[in-house]
Structure 1
């Protein structure tokens, strides 16, 4: 196939070719002449092929129409009239990724597969879903995925129901969602980012079926499509299919969906409430945020610099801005988050669990701490270490890599920028290292927190009555609607009957047969070889995997948790959370985390569990120490790991703030993802693995941590004794299985030599 500039292929013209060294690939940029659709192929030596079609979707209200569309188009289409093709594909396809995403200004539908035939099948189903969805002939899809009046009898109370509506009600119960949505309204009063793209439950019910259909017709058109394909694939077949099956039926339309640049306006301060239950305490439960638009999508150096600076300023309790707030008892935690992936990224600093009347003291403390940092300089070693780790993660491969590259490209492509630029950001890390010595990071910090003329602030206070008021308002609104028209009520009852009938129906054999299948002849009979060598290092079973082309070494040390009773599992969960977040006998927390960022790619200590042969009556719980490191830094691994697991100091003064921060995170997680906690708890009644997961990271674990916080002085000494015993007992050679990539058995040997315990301790608690 002749891939030369300006050549035409199946209705597409090849407009640009660029080498992308960071991705070890070549970027081919096509435009479909008839529709003006754009398609980019990143040709790489990757069998895991990715396809994603993205539409620029600009909301003009809070009804969440694009979120509802994202759900709805995956409920059957013209060629594939199946109720849930998404679910059926999960059963039958060889897909390695299958999903859809709603962003503030775009909607993406990505798939990936290692099998050529399956890849084309997935493209077919997704193209039909977005361009020929069943929503035009089946309004029940909108009622199910969006919203409807739920009523089955004239004597019943009427309710609102719908998948997206209920999902967003859950999201809006989170204080984080409340903060982000309000800040978007404050920062972007003149463009689409002021709206909640996922939908505000108060306004989702304003969306009509007619407007829903009209929105699909307006935005889901090839002239508004950007298609990303990635991997080692037959581009001729992909282009032919897209053109002949879909794009040939469309003509170019003018799609003016440009997002106006938001002018940075004088700062405002808002105060709003968020919902807590009637019996929750409200003291020290306010949150205070400071936010500002800080750049544009193509300010690549600045945006990556802010990511590095955020980590330096608030990564741990010893980081300068967080320490200033904690030391002055002005809050329990501090976050600094960059919201990018949009046309104008913005930054927000949030002080969590404080009192609203501490606003002035917080502002003065931040002003003072920032001025001192700008005057005396930031910790340059810390910045170097953070940039090292960021570069490591940038260059490290993740699956599906094609999706990651596609998302990066879209961060520029969507706004008319050069999509090759965000795929070539590797050069920026050296630029940032040079800028450390030039005062660049101090200037950035000053421009954010000391330029108060444009620094917006938000105080969010808890309300114990807001929930009851919201429910009462909704009930009254529904009662008024019901009372206003008996004819409409009867119509809603019939609507619900039809919806129930459709939801209870099953796909026919003929409908299911429309979904594309893979024949056995199209599947490689021989599974892909995953080379593995099992060695013994000082009697420790060690799994040896091939070296990575990236030059990255991966090490895993699995310590059996056999003998730990259920009663003590929550303490083990907290134990692993504290490692890496407390000082050691040799280093402060900042020094420890700096060493990890400087010399390693990652170092994680977690608990996990495996079920042998999927048995429900047995499991293998482990404490896993995992590490990634460049070949040249392998010698730094063992001393750091041993220091963390053997020399961490458990002091009550330093554990308490970490415990509080963890408990607040767990509380928000339960509010946002209560269903997952419920599922984990139910699973504990059915399998040994479920029991472990419930006590190590479920509701039982949350109860233990909250009880410890509430009875801290009475309980903490005993818990610390437990932690110190775990240090002595769990990290034993006889509990260990190791895993390593490449020829690095010497590292495993060095690690084993550093472990003092040789014999297993049996039942340790």
Structure 2
């Protein structure tokens, strides 16, 4: 019943693309057959939201709360612990909803496929699940109708998301740019609109859109297509007939004149308002179905904005009108109408007209003069590199390919064009040979295009108050309409939900893997080690598809302690300044023309034997197409031997950019910042990690960004000192990950690079200051409507016999206690436990949490729960499976080499890895109770707490936090 419509070998990506149609229902399917054992399955639906109630998003959560064949409360979270998945999630975009899974294990892959097919096509969609995941009314005080409040996982998630200025900018820009189509709506849900959605509307939305006739099914990997088709047919499609589904998204009605919009985001009453605004200009460009125009507009965006030397990027940053490019600057090509945007953040409202004029003037100049050929070659090189690189660290490579082709497949019925790299490059090269090609595009899509929107997003100390007032007014209105019967109904529904949450789920209907399905042997990553006259080089042969990855590590032990806090800023600056007589623009052009990027960063190498022992290094990572190895090594030689710290204006600019991006990262990674703050008092590694990538580093960058000229000149001197201290060949180690044929050709350029580095006679020795581990309670205040709460315990090093049991205990605590208490009952977006075996730290964390005190209580209860033991064999087996899903997560070819290189530098050998693996497989009930008692309960008084939250949440908990002697901190201006 499946018709093969097209069979296309794609040599550049080493795969064959097979396109099919399910004739009885019209379901579309694409299979990418290749040698990759990390198989991917995804089913997607076109789901245009009719409003901003978040119906598509809440449905995405709710379909995973039980289905016809698997009527358990939460099969999604249950399967996370019953499987060896390498990816399992669901995502809601502006116009589609997607359910992807991946696994290296055949049995597991088909288990997950079956769960997802049943969940999407035959969900139970119980009202109770809608109340838990979407929104519900409840009373904070049991007999107090005045304490009416709104709860719900998505409601709290979106409250957190919409307090993040970067998120808000994207949502508000879409609303202005797409006034008549679904893209103008907030598919995630506006917090004020979410409570308008009814359970009946949710069910109707599912009925309308979750049908095979409106589905796009994707598979990838080395498992046979025939078996996929048999299962998909049998488990789902055979029960449907073709149906007319109206989900096509119309093209946006074009504006006849440019428009402007001003919106606000929340800041605290005492916060700095200067240089906090964002200005974004955006143009609707070509429809997604115009394949060539879309690819060419992507190249144009790279030419205008792709690096610091690109004309629009340079004009914006050098204008001094803002600190950095605004979030979302670039080309967005996966909506039905594609669009290009550019702007500045860290600016002020009075600069709006200047920024608009600057952008338009720059475009006029470029349209008049065109682009030099070498710039066009560099942009085409970037296109080739991005499409050729085999990624797979964030999520599976197959899923990355799917995300690349999903927009054109969904809207233009064209899944193939984005895969045809060589063909696209050839066509683009031919077109770009005409010097008028890109100038004409600039006029067509930008200068002469009236569908242009300028958005100003400014800070407003009243924003949060207005929002709270709107919620209060709504609740007051509801409260007035409540009679005894309605109050009783609200209470009854919450009691029933609580009872359901507390009733253990019978998950016996769900498939599960056995421990026998786990690979017993720790995989080896083969390498060759070459000891040169100055340093060691490690060679890793991996299928990198014509790309060379180079890593250099420099020991920091000779660095004076006073310079240490500035190391992350130094690293961020290194690839962004001038070198060896080239200014920063020339360096930026060289890097863009011949590499896939050059990055520096500090790293901490923990000892597998001792929590108080570690090495800190600075890492340089560079990658290139194999044909550019010599140029890469020449660029790196210049950066390492002659960095230019004399251009103080450039240093000031980059520091401003770093500051803005660090500040922007806080709302999305609040749990990490909270955990780093807690861990900092427990081990020397964690202390340095917090100093380099926690809230302390945000503080450092804020202080540095306000230096006067004399202070900046002094800082530049510090950077020169760091460079001369670090970049010496006998404190270095090198790793090359590439295909075998490319390793010979880099030997000579690499030798030249190493020979150019000075040698130093004094051997470095890591400072041996004794670290005094002690408990700490740290609170960081920030403008957030939600909290991130963490408690962290110091445990044992990697090779300790208790380490495997601690890893399994973290999985158990997360899946069987914290998820229920913090997410399901507490309404936070996430409740987690984690064990960092390398660093010896055990953490409990919450994400976008409406509670603070309650969560601290839950952590204490969680420890008691873990100490009681009484875990069933099934629970332990599930937690062991979860541990291996994390341990064996596949990496990209480049990262496989890098991970083994890190192990070699840490002194982690294969025997240690195998012992840890054996230890996890052998974990028993008694060990879990023992480690819970020893490292959590007995060590509870010496554990640390870190909280990131808004002022209001801290005020509510102030009595408790005072008793805990919390050290309160606040950033200068966020």
TM over 0.5: yes
Per-residue deviation at 1:359? 3.0
1:56-75 matches, within 5 Å, as 56-75=46-65
Counterparts of 1:711 and 1:278, CA distance in 2: 25
- The answer as to whether partners of 1:154 and 1:489 remain within 8 angstroms in 2 is no
Confirm whether residue 381 of structure 1 aligns to residue 369 of structure 2: no
Confirm whether residue 626 of structure 1 aligns to residue 614 of structure 2: no
Indicate the RMSD between aligned Cα atoms, in angstroms: 2.5
Confirm whether residue 18 of structure 1 aligns to residue 8 of structure 2: yes
Alignment match of 2:702 (pick from 695, 706, 718) = 706
Q: Tell which deviates more after alignment, 331-340 or 80-89.
A: 80-89
- The answer as to whether partners of 2:251 and 2:287 remain within 8 angstroms in 1 is no
Per-residue deviation at 1:141? 1.8
Deviation per CA, 1:413-472: give whole Å up to 9, x if none. 212422122221432223333333412112222334422633222223321111112112
Quote the residue 1:165 is aligned against.
155
Confirm whether residue 391 of structure 1 aligns to residue 384 of structure 2: yes
Deviation per CA, 1:88-108: give whole Å up to 9, x if none. 433342222222111111111
Counterparts of 1:221 and 1:452, CA distance in 2: 38
Confirm whether residue 147 of structure 1 aligns to residue 135 of structure 2: yes
Counterparts of 2:107 and 2:580, CA distance in 1: 57
- The answer as to whether partners of 1:386 and 1:594 remain within 8 angstroms in 2 is no
Deviation per CA, 1:367-406: give whole Å up to 9, x if none. 3322222222224322221221221121111222211222
1:161-310 matches, within 5 Å, as 161-266=151-256, 267-310=258-301
Confirm whether residue 585 of structure 1 aligns to residue 585 of structure 2: no
Counterparts of 1:572 and 1:381, CA distance in 2: 34
1:313-462 matches, within 5 Å, as 313-335=304-326, 336-399=329-392, 400-438=396-434, 439-451=436-448, 453-462=450-459
Against the structure 1 CA distance between its residues 78 and 631, is the aligned structure 2 distance closer, same or farther, given a 3 Å change threshold?
same
SS at match of 1:154: coil
Alignment match of 2:476 (pick from 474, 479, 485) = 479
Counterparts of 2:747 and 2:371, CA distance in 1: 39
Against the structure 1 CA distance between its residues 463 and 379, is the aligned structure 2 distance closer, same or farther, given a 3 Å change threshold?
farther
Counterparts of 2:706 and 2:218, CA distance in 1: 52
Per-residue deviation at 1:293? 0.8
Deviation per CA, 1:716-738: give whole Å up to 9, x if none. 34432321121111223343221
Confirm whether residue 756 of structure 1 aligns to residue 752 of structure 2: no
Deviation per CA, 1:277-323: give whole Å up to 9, x if none. 22122233332222111011133333333333333333455542244
- The answer as to whether partners of 2:308 and 2:588 remain within 8 angstroms in 1 is no
- The answer as to whether partners of 1:157 and 1:479 remain within 8 angstroms in 2 is no
Confirm whether residue 132 of structure 1 aligns to residue 122 of structure 2: yes
SS at match of 2:3: strand
Quote the residue 2:726 is aligned against.
730
SS at match of 1:95: coil
Aligned residues: 750
Q: Tell which deviates more after alignment, 35-44 or 427-436.
A: 427-436
Q: Tell which deviates more after alignment, 703-712 or 555-564.
A: 555-564
Quote the residue 1:3 is aligned against.
none
Per-residue deviation at 1:567? 6.3
Against the structure 1 CA distance between its residues 674 and 360, is the aligned structure 2 distance closer, same or farther, given a 3 Å change threshold?
same
SS at match of 1:135: coil
Deviation per CA, 1:497-526: give whole Å up to 9, x if none. 23233334433xxx3333322345655555
Against the structure 1 CA distance between its residues 367 and 525, is the aligned structure 2 distance closer, same or farther, given a 3 Å change threshold?
closer
- The answer as to whether partners of 1:314 and 1:334 remain within 8 angstroms in 2 is no
Q: Tell which deviates more after alignment, 692-701 or 371-380.
A: 371-380
Runs of 4+ in 1 over 6 A off after TM superposition: none
For structure 1, which runs of at least 5 residues remain unmatched after alignment? 1-10
Quote the residue 1:8 is aligned against.
none
Quote the residue 1:561 is aligned against.
556
Quote the residue 1:5 is aligned against.
none
1:655-666 matches, within 5 Å, as 655-666=651-662
Confirm whether residue 697 of structure 1 aligns to residue 693 of structure 2: yes
Q: Tell which deviates more after alignment, 412-421 or 712-721.
A: 712-721
- The answer as to whether partners of 1:292 and 1:348 remain within 8 angstroms in 2 is yes
Quote the residue 1:517 is aligned against.
512
Q: Tell which deviates more after alignment, 282-291 or 637-646.
A: 282-291
Counterparts of 1:761 and 1:372, CA distance in 2: 53
Deviation per CA, 1:589-636: give whole Å up to 9, x if none. 221121122222232212233434396444443221112222222222
Q: Tell which deviates more after alignment, 552-561 or 357-366.
A: 357-366
Counterparts of 2:349 and 2:18, CA distance in 1: 54
Alignment match of 2:488 (pick from 474, 487, 490) = 490
Against the structure 1 CA distance between its residues 193 and 89, is the aligned structure 2 distance closer, same or farther, given a 3 Å change threshold?
same
Counterparts of 1:493 and 1:646, CA distance in 2: 70
Alignment match of 1:637 (pick from 626, 632, 635) = 632
SS at match of 1:461: strand
Q: Tell which deviates more after alignment, 578-587 or 600-609.
A: 600-609
SS at match of 1:202: coil
Per-residue deviation at 1:653? 2.0
Counterparts of 2:181 and 2:264, CA distance in 1: 24
Deviation per CA, 1:656-687: give whole Å up to 9, x if none. 12112221222222244433321332233444
Per-residue deviation at 1:270? 2.1
Report the TM-score when normalising by structure 2: 0.73
Confirm whether residue 80 of structure 1 aligns to residue 70 of structure 2: yes
Against the structure 1 CA distance between its residues 177 and 596, is the aligned structure 2 distance closer, same or farther, given a 3 Å change threshold?
same
Against the structure 1 CA distance between its residues 660 and 367, is the aligned structure 2 distance closer, same or farther, given a 3 Å change threshold?
same
Quote the residue 1:648 is aligned against.
643
- The answer as to whether partners of 2:558 and 2:725 remain within 8 angstroms in 1 is no
- The answer as to whether partners of 2:301 and 2:340 remain within 8 angstroms in 1 is no
Per-residue deviation at 1:27? 2.3
Against the structure 1 CA distance between its residues 525 and 701, is the aligned structure 2 distance closer, same or farther, given a 3 Å change threshold?
closer
Counterparts of 1:342 and 1:586, CA distance in 2: 44
